[in-house]
Chain A
């Protein structure tokens, strides 16, 4: 159980105008600015939930994660994870959590991956038999067999990320924080990582909190999303509801023979023609005003439809809409 209420955190940043003169001036007198990274964040996450924590760059996602991991102390507010306050009982708290920072590495650069794993085993005081079992499981699921004996510096990004995720799970944490775990990965590795996270959540009941900019991650993994912007939680909702809310617009891609009188379509309320050339058109319709079948009927009257596909909004577009709606 994770309970966060009214967390705030600000950072002091030194600032100066551009240019050499100002650089010299800053030697003598520094100007500081306070940046409010979090201004009153509250939410609750139940055991075994999988939550996507999204928001634009600089919204405060990583700050929240760092506070929940006990790395940063907030200015005010409360946070309790598994009955403990992270920054007050840091060493006890971090035994229960695992973290993956997608942009950083926790593996020792010069030595084979397995050595880093064994160090983690000793740090978390994992029993040897339990370690063997977890390692076998992780090796199989993440396909690490050939990677374990390779020094980290010789791994590709995708291979390394798989090892990083395994490293965060060696002590079988109850809560797993993933801060951009798929950043920079190719399609195959991304899918492997997603599958693994899903499986871990389902079978081991690990609570997962995921921050990412990759909406496919969110779509594939989480039911619930928390949207953060300018240091506040703007939205806490279910993925499907959100989609419905934003799925007024549908895209129809059509291939046809004959000539499409785009005037006729454009004059019709609720239809916009995005593209039209060489027998292909992309039409966006507002489902509050028109139904899909009405549009298809209209199209089939004027042209000979060869191929047609209807799509709702993608998660990506939805987030853009969300950011726009909340002006962040």
Chain B
């Protein structure tokens, strides 16, 4: 395990070299956050009672989503890994006494956590001090807060395990942009990153909530704002564990298969 911690550490320190990128990210997330909140404000302005989430919960949802975007964006992959596969640099990674799946898993997780930590603080702080219904409020109680933290970690795991499938597919297709586009759009929408899942029509919502995508940002954010609580929260967490395990097992299987067939490119 210590070795994965080391992989985590080196990826982390590589990411935090880039301060300008972090600043640009913060600015973008602020812009997006305000944009979304204003758009929803317009929709809500007629009659607030007809919506599945009170507006104040929605504001918190959006700010958290923007603050932790780097943890959950499905269209983000570790460039180093994709390049290693298509350029053949993977030769080096395969000549190490290390499980490649574990290594890449922790490397991607570190990449996301480092980005999120660099960007979240200013967004969270400012969002706390915004006026009235636009602000980010604290969770109602300790249970929700704890549930949020656990679910946040599990959600990150699900996102990374899902990304691992894309890495593995890159062994077969080489250019991963096409796959990205398809999976990223699908996953992004179904994870509630464009429109939160409670706003989906109920039939589609019921199916969407069972899919692995709902175990990404949907659950932790809704637990935080208090939209999911009690036994629903427990069920959600169990489902998250289930998806995390399934994706990891499946990912390991196909990676083992890919590695026996691997061709290393470029001399």
* A binding-site residues for B, Cβ under 8 Å: 11, 62, 66, 69-73, 90-92, 94-95, 97, 99, 101, 103-106, 108-111, 115-116, 118-119, 122-125, 151
Contacts and interface: CB of A to CB of B under 8 A. Distances in A.
Nearest to A71: B94
Contacts of A66: 91, 264
B13 A92 contact: no
Nearest to A115: B10
Given A69-B94, A71-B94, A99-B92, 17 more contacts: A66-B91, A71-B264, A92-B97, A99-B91, A101-B91, A103-B266, A103-B267, A104-B88, A105-B89, A108-B10, A111-B13, A115-B13, A119-B7, A122-B2, A124-B97, A125-B3, A151-B17
Contacts of A97: 95
B91 A119 contact: no
B263 to A, nearest CB: 6
Given A66-B91, A71-B91, A94 B267 contact: no
B99 to A, nearest CB: 7
Interface residues on B, range: 20 to 34
A115 B94 CA distance: 20
Contact of A62 (B94, B97, B267): B267
Interface string B95-122: 1111100000000000000000000000
User: What 8 pairs across the A-B complex have the smallest Cβ distances?
Assistant: A122-B6, A110-B14, A106-B92, A71-B94, A91-B97, A95-B97, A99-B95, A119-B10
B6 A118 contact: yes
B262 interface: yes
Contact of B95 (A69, A92, A122, A151): A69
Interface string B1-28: 0110011011001100100000000000
Contacts, number: 73
B96 A123 contact: yes
B264 A72 contact: yes
A143 B203 CA distance: 68
Contacts of A103: 266-267
B141 interface: no
A73 B14 CA distance: 33
A109 B97 contact: no
B177 interface: no
B246 to A, nearest CB: 25
B95 A70 contact: yes
Nearest to B87: A104
B260 interface: yes
A244 B92 CA distance: 39
- Most chain-A CB neighbours within 10 Å: which of B7, B14, B91, B94? B91
B98 A71 contact: no
B263 A11 contact: yes
Contacts of A95: 97
Contact of B6 (A11, A111, A119): A119
A111 B96 contact: no
A78 B263 CA distance: 19
A106 to B, nearest CB: 4
A191 B205 CA distance: 68
Given A109-B14, A110-B14, A123 B6 contact: yes
A104 B6 contact: no
Contacts of A94: 95-97
B136 to A, nearest CB: 32
B80 to A, nearest CB: 8
28 contacts: A11-B263, A66-B264, A69-B94, A71-B262, A72-B262, A73-B260, A90-B94, A91-B98, A94-B95, A94-B96, A95-B97, A97-B95, A99-B91, A99-B92, A103-B266, A104-B87, A104-B91, A106-B92, A111-B10, A116-B10, A118-B10, A119-B6, A119-B7, A119-B9, A122-B2, A122-B6, A123-B98, A124-B96
Contacts of B91: 66, 69, 71, 99, 101, 104
A104 B267 CA distance: 10
